[in-house]
Amino acid sequence: MAGWLFVITLLLALVAVHRPFGDYMYKVVSGRRNNVVERGIYRLVGVDPSAEQTWGVYARSVLAFSAVSILFLYLFLRIQDKLWLSLGFAGVPTHIAWNTAVSFVTNTNWQAYSGESTMGHLVQMAGLAVQNFVSASVGIAVAVALIRGFAGRKTGTLGNFWVDLTRITLRVLLPICVLATLVFMIAGMVQNLSGGTDVTTLTGATQHITGGPVASQEAIKELGTNGGGFYNVNSAHPFENPTAWTNWLQIFLILVIPFSLPRVFGRMVGQLRQGYAIVAVMAVLAIASIALTVGFEVHGAGTVPQAVGAAMEGKEVRFGIPNSATFASATTLTSTGAVDSFHDSYTAFGGMMPMINMMLGEVAPGGVGSGLYGLLILAVITVFVAGLMVGRTPEYIGKKIGAREMKLASLYFLVTPALVLIGTAAAFATGNNSTALNVGPHGLSEVLYAFTSAANNNGSAFAGITVNTPWWDTALGLAMLIGRFLPLVLVLALAGSLARQKPVPESEGTLPTHKPLFVGMVVGVTVVLVALTFLPALALGPIAEGLS
Amino acid sequence: MTLLAEKPATPSKSSAVKGGLLDPQQLWKSLPGALVKLDPRTLWRNPVMFIVEVGAVFTTVLSIVDPSALGWIITVWLWLTVVFANLAEAVAEGRGKAQAAALRAAKQDAVARLLRDGREVAIPATELKLGDIVVAEAGDLIPGDGDVIEGIASVDESAITGESAPVIRESGGDRSAVTGGTKVLSDRIVIKITQRPGESFVDRMIALVEGANRQKTPNEIALNILLAALTIIFLLSVVTLQPLAIFSKAYNAAAPDTTTINQHGVSGIVLVSLIVCLIPTTIGALLSAIGIAGMDRLVQRNVLAMSGRAVEAAGDVNTLLLDKTGTITLGNRQASEFVPVEGVDALRLADAAQLSSLADETPEGRSVVVLAKNEHGLREREPGLMTDATFVPFTAQTRMSGVDIGARQIRKGAAAAVMKWVRENGGHPTEQVGEIVDMISATGGTPLVVAEHVDGQPAQALGVIHLKDVVKSGMRARFDEMRAMGIRTVMITGDNPRTAKAIADEAGVDDFLAEATPEDKLAYIRKEQEGGRLVAMTGDGTNDAPALAQADVGVAMNTGTSAAKEAGNMVDLDSDPTKLIEIVEIGKQLLITRGALTTFSITNDIAKYFAIIPAMFAAVYPGLDQLNVMRLHSPGSAILSAVIFNALIIVALIPLALRGVRYKPSSASALLRRNLWIYGLGGAIIPFIGIKLIDLLVQFIPGI
């Protein structure tokens, strides 16, 4: 019962916030005025905020910004021992520094390290947290650029990346994070610069109680669908997620931007109903996924869960099963990757669900920005097939889906599955799967999960596999890097191609893309494409385990 | 154009586009062509089938190295899959070839009578150059495409149009174009050649129907990209499965080896089978056949499209520009009502009107006689039998016509002229005549006043004949259909705006362009295109050429000038402007067929997974046998059944690909719902049944 209440209140809160928050973000990205701070920043970096960029310039700006970010973060991690607040930790080894730099810049936040025993406070705050903000802004900016492509009337331009980046960071992410940090502190989360305290416990042993800027880190970790925890155990740690209601709030923060972005889409293309259709697709997929995951966990199959009445292994007692399963769904339905329970310990099918959520391309509702553009690509593919079936050259929001658009959308769709499948196969072919804790189907799931998480920029770990070896750090780093930036460039190219088009007026012969039939079809295409792509691999992992 | 103008618009029921049926013999006859197409140099253009062929070669090698019954049977069926795909294309091309052969027969090697310095020289028609002047007389074949610059002749164009009635070709005006290969039946004409050697209309026609230089259309290219992407994804998904399979088998080493899996992983033959079953072979095999058959359906309706792109554009059209005359109306004004003035009996008016029209052989005049007979039962009187009657013909000066019978004079004509005649003969036309005339004009009709003068009495206006443009039956329903499809219809007419509006309202078109000059048409098309709309129009005159060229789909009438034919991207050999509507439907049907078969192809894969995944892995993980929902006999039979089904479904769908998916004009929502149910859901369910049935048979093959 409490479980239902948890999920239903979450849904209601998202429904209530969707409209005002979406409208607010719409104003942020489409407004003309820049405030004093923003103007100062533009002057500092030498950007003309009124200059419109073509897709090529926009893409180069994104890539240049990200490349500099990776380089900076890598060096920062390498030399942290020479800087303040390092808490005495050494510089991060090369392969972990590379993996971490890529991981945080790509909004993945895959952690091949243990936060509390590797990173000092300065790196956490000025390195990792900064990337938590800007990598999220990059995602939203690219989504907004794609929307501008749909909304554009033969302009060929997509706005200005630097303006988008600045505004989203300062006006959307920062204020909410300040507020959320305060709330988290009230709830009892740690927020200090202490190196920790050694205490003697009742049993006489010495225990190290860590400190640090946890609450502030936590707010952006969820809001920006980053997921990189301050502590190794992420949101299962009492300092990162003290109570059931902070758990609720964290899930809310994870979902709030991705679920509100379709409203921005509806506003910008001037057809609110198109935004509702997109959010409906997200909601259908998300609700189905949460229901299935909770169902599999509550009625978990397996000897131990049957004996104790529920699959409690790997879950915090203070959250319980439904709340943990909901968190697991939310974190993988988006590109967050934070965890408050251990997916490796889930029942076979319960553990398959987070994997499937990511395999969907993280579109329900997906990472901040990336979820919307991922789903719009799927909508484009659906429109193409559906459009042919109504006897017209397919068009979406008045833009024709021709050969060039199809090429870009198809390539987008190819990238992540290719990374996941090739990565997984390579791990087995090279024997690097041996670092997995388990053998048999569960061991296969652990490897498959790692690549699924990295390529989709999720960052959650199934756990049960040691990944801080050079091979894994390099392979997953590449998966994250390609999985983030190649699709992103393809999206911008698509946006550019759409922006150059003159919109086609709507008529009775136009495929309606706001009706339930179309919503159902996008859901169907998403699920069928994923099922067809990954079913053979899943059959040897979670399905074999679950059906045994 | 008027030849066919009387043909009523086809009612909506029969307007659903139909095509020829597939003759089983055609399959057999096309087999050699299909085998030739196995050449990888041609097949690589079709990425899906190319992968199947590569797979077939691979399994052939595997079967030779390590022969097994299953291996060989699967290999045979994989080759058959490729052959069936080629067969579909060959059959589609075969129908075009038959038409091309008929055209070639018509294009006999004619001798041209070239006029050089006023002297006639006989040279082979093939040596004619652009701008040459030739002579053709009764019995001659016209040596090349050109314009008549002197003379008038009747020409038999049945070779290209199939229409046996001869047509008139004369210099000047819109009927000056002649086509090479047609035959002069009477008189003598001088022709200026407008074609280059080897580029005659018939040459282009042959090339088109043969599909010799068939280019992929934009939507076809886009669809090919999607299919290629799906192929790559499935290829990856199967190839990357092998290390996982080896790992799983090693984990469960105690599991017995089967025909499908051993310690080296899944057998090559099974992996290839899985790939072939998953990649979209159904649509990949039929895609080009659908395109060729679409063009073929146009040719069967005597429409020549200069490019497949134009056919596709027809499906996208938002605005149809239709000439009023001949398309929307029957082409002539017809008497629709007799309106007598007060005090005059309707019968008397009808009688006078009929008498005055007996010698009037214009369609208007005939229609007055017909109306008098239909409405008032007045029998037609032979003008020749009325000995005392003198008929007064219409002249531009008097603007009246009529008859004098003894002392009785009857006149009918334009209101002003007839009223003047009444006054001159001592009568006083009542004001009521003026009112009736105004009323008829207001509704877009043409009033003809009828007056009578008997010697010794003052002349009297009897009443008014209401002439009106008669809208073809069924046109309103047709336009309603168009509207449901999201297409606006615009009537183009030279009439004044008032008349145009009345007819537009009656016909049910969405808009009209009155007093339209060629420039107006061009401007209207540009305006529509500015708004992102695609425009289709028909035209035949030289002055239509700019608009035809500007329109996205320009259908030139075959009776039109060569300038018009050059400017348009389609030519209608029947010169029937209503054909535009059918062309739009064929364009839509072409796209729908592709979309429907793509959906079918993708949803088919669900069932194939349920057949093949348990077949591959149930030996290692027995729990996976629960996925064998069809309860297929054995791993071998399951995989073989899936492969056989995959091949047979191509053959089963060839008739559909050639005929096109049934298309009924309706809104996009309705079309999508219908096709999604039939081809989406059908595609998901049919293979479960098909694979199970095939499995029931193949399980009896020893060794499977």
CB-based contact (8 Å) between B629 and chain A? no
pTM of the predicted model, to two decimals? 0.88
pLDDT band for position A290 (cuts 50, 70, 90): very high
Subunit contact A533:B233, Cβ cutoff 8 A: yes
Give chain B positions within 8 Å (CB) of A390.
592, 595, 668, 671-672, 675
* Confidence (pLDDT) at A304: 66
Over residues B470-523, the pLDDT tens digits come to 888 888 888 888 888 888 999 988 778 888 888 888 889 999 998 888 888 899
Over residues B431-468, the pLDDT tens digits come to 888 889 888 887 778 889 999 998 888 898 999 999 88
The mean pLDDT value of chain A amounts to: 93
Burial class (CB in 10 A: 0-12, 13-18, 19+), B417: middle
Subunit contact B603:A528, Cβ cutoff 8 A: yes
Amino acid at A80: Q
* Confidence (pLDDT) at B211: 66
* Confidence (pLDDT) at B1: 33
DSSP state of B663: -
Amino acid at A224: G
Subunit contact B244:A444, Cβ cutoff 8 A: yes
* Confidence (pLDDT) at B10: 38
Nearest-by-CA chain A residue for B534: A504
**Whether pLDDT at B378 is above 90:** no
* Confidence (pLDDT) at B22: 61
- Interhelix angle A214-223/A174-186, rounded to 10 degrees, is 130
| ipTM field | 0.95
* Confidence (pLDDT) at B697: 96
B457/A534: higher pLDDT: A534
* Confidence (pLDDT) at B19: 43
Write the residue in B609, B620, B672 that is nearest to A389 by C-beta: B672
Subunit contact A528:B533, Cβ cutoff 8 A: no
**Whether pLDDT at B412 is above 80:** yes
Query: What is the rounded CA–CA span in Å between residue B388 and residue A499?
Result: 80
Give chain B positions within 8 Å (CB) of A391.
315, 587-592, 663, 671
Over residues B567-620, the pLDDT tens digits come to 888 888 887 777 888 898 899 999 999 999 999 999 999 999 999 999 999 999
- Can you give the three-state secondary structure of A395-464, one letter per residue? EECCEECCHHHHHHHHHHHHHHHHHHHHHHHHHHHCCHHHHECCCHHHHHHHHHHHHHHHHCCCCCCCCC
Q: How close B229 gets to chain A, by Cα (Å)?
A: 6
Subunit contact B591:A392, Cβ cutoff 8 A: yes
**Whether pLDDT at B14 is above 70:** no
User: Counting one residue from A and one from B, how many pairs have CB atoms under 8 Å apart?
Assistant: 219
Residue of B340, B587, B573, B593 whose CA lies nearest to B447: B340
Mapped onto helix, strand or coil, the DSSP state of residue B392 is strand
Mean pLDDT in residue range B89-114: 77
Give chain A positions within 8 Å (CB) of B621.
441, 540, 544, 547-548
**Which residue in B223, B226, B231, B312 has the most chain A C-beta atoms within 10 A of its own C-beta, making it the best mutation to test that interface?**
B226
The mean pLDDT value of chain B amounts to: 86
Over residues B652-661, the pLDDT tens digits come to 999 999 999 9
Mean pLDDT in residue range A180-201: 91
* Confidence (pLDDT) at B582: 87
Amino acid at A148: R
Write the residue in B221, B237, B488 that is nearest to A403 by C-beta: B221
**Which residue in A383, A384, A388, A521 has the most chain B C-beta atoms within 10 A of its own C-beta, making it the best mutation to test that interface?**
A388
**Whether pLDDT at B2 is above 50:** no
A100/A4: higher pLDDT: A100
Burial class (CB in 10 A: 0-12, 13-18, 19+), B97: middle
Contact B254, B262 (CB under 8 A): no
Over residues B153-201, the pLDDT tens digits come to 888 887 777 666 778 888 877 778 888 878 888 888 999 888 877 777 7
Pairing of the two strands A206-209 and A197-200: antiparallel
Q: What is the residue whose two structure tokens read 């053998």?
A: A439
Range of the domain at A412: 2-199+206-547
Mean pLDDT in residue range A518-537: 95
Subunit contact A547:B627, Cβ cutoff 8 A: yes
- Neighbouring residues of B98: CB distance < 8 A, sequence distance ≥ 6: none
Query: What is the rounded CA–CA span in Å between residue B177 and residue A193?
Result: 92
Q: How close B16 gets to chain A, by Cα (Å)?
A: 14
* Confidence (pLDDT) at B213: 62
Query: What is the rounded CA–CA span in Å between residue B63 and residue B160?
Result: 54
Subunit contact A389:B232, Cβ cutoff 8 A: no
**Whether pLDDT at B251 is above 60:** yes
Burial class (CB in 10 A: 0-12, 13-18, 19+), B254: exposed
pLDDT band for position B250 (cuts 50, 70, 90): very high
Query: What is the rounded CA–CA span in Å between residue B465 and residue B368?
Result: 8
* Sign of the four-CA dihedral B245, B248, B250, B256: negative
In chain A, the N- to C-terminal Cα span, in Å, equals 31
**Whether pLDDT at A273 is above 60:** yes
**Lowest mean pLDDT across A108-122, B108-122, B158-172:** B158-172
Q: Show which residues of B are catalytic.
A: 323
Write the residue in B241, B589, B669 that is nearest to A537 by C-beta: B241
Amino acid at A482: I
Subunit contact B240:A504, Cβ cutoff 8 A: no
- B364 is an annotated ligand-binding site residue: yes
In chain B, which among 22-61 make CB contacts under 8 A with chain A?
Answer: none
Query: What is the rounded CA–CA span in Å between residue A265 and residue B58?
Result: 49
Compute CA distances B28 → A144, B22, B33, B87, whole Å: 57, 12, 10, 9
Compute CA distances A198 → A88, A193, A194, B603, whole Å: 15, 15, 12, 62
CB-based contact (8 Å) between B552 and chain A? no
Compute CA distances A130 → A25, A88, A171, A250, A434, whole Å: 21, 22, 15, 19, 35
Query: What is the rounded CA–CA span in Å between residue A485 and residue A263?
Result: 25
Mapped onto helix, strand or coil, the DSSP state of residue B482 is helix
Number of domains in chain A: 1
Over residues B43-74, the pLDDT tens digits come to 998 999 999 999 999 999 999 999 999 999 99
Q: How close A103 gets to chain B, by Cα (Å)?
A: 25
**Whether pLDDT at A522 is above 90:** yes
Contact A254, A361 (CB under 8 A): no
B301/A450: higher pLDDT: A450
* Confidence (pLDDT) at B8: 38
Percent of chain A, pLDDT > 70?
Answer: 98
Over residues A316-362, the pLDDT tens digits come to 888 888 999 999 999 999 999 999 999 999 999 999 999 999 999 99
Query: Cβ atoms within 10 A of the Cβ of B24, count?
Result: 8
Q: How close B521 gets to chain A, by Cα (Å)?
A: 21
* Confidence (pLDDT) at A142: 98
* Confidence (pLDDT) at B4: 35
A42/B99: higher pLDDT: A42
Residue of A302, A348, A345 whose CA lies nearest to A541: A348
Subunit contact B594:A410, Cβ cutoff 8 A: no
CB-based contact (8 Å) between B18 and chain A? no
**Whether pLDDT at B241 is above 90:** yes
Burial pattern B173-206, b for ≥16 Cβ within 10 A else e, equals: ebbbbbbbbbbbeebebbbbbbbeeeebbbbbbb
Query: What is the rounded CA–CA span in Å between residue A135 and residue A69?
Result: 9
Q: How close B232 gets to chain A, by Cα (Å)?
A: 8
Query: What is the rounded CA–CA span in Å between residue A483 and residue A477?
Result: 10
CB-based contact (8 Å) between B240 and chain A? yes
* Confidence (pLDDT) at B120: 87
pLDDT band for position B17 (cuts 50, 70, 90): very low
CB-based contact (8 Å) between B241 and chain A? yes
- Neighbouring residues of A445: CB distance < 8 A, sequence distance ≥ 6: A351, A352, A355, A462, A541, A542, A545
Percent of chain A, pLDDT > 90?
Answer: 80
**Whether pLDDT at B146 is above 70:** yes
Q: How close B420 gets to chain A, by Cα (Å)?
A: 53
* Confidence (pLDDT) at B9: 38
**Whether pLDDT at A147 is above 80:** yes
Write phi, then psi, for B184 (nearest 5 degrees).
-80, 130
* Confidence (pLDDT) at B7: 36
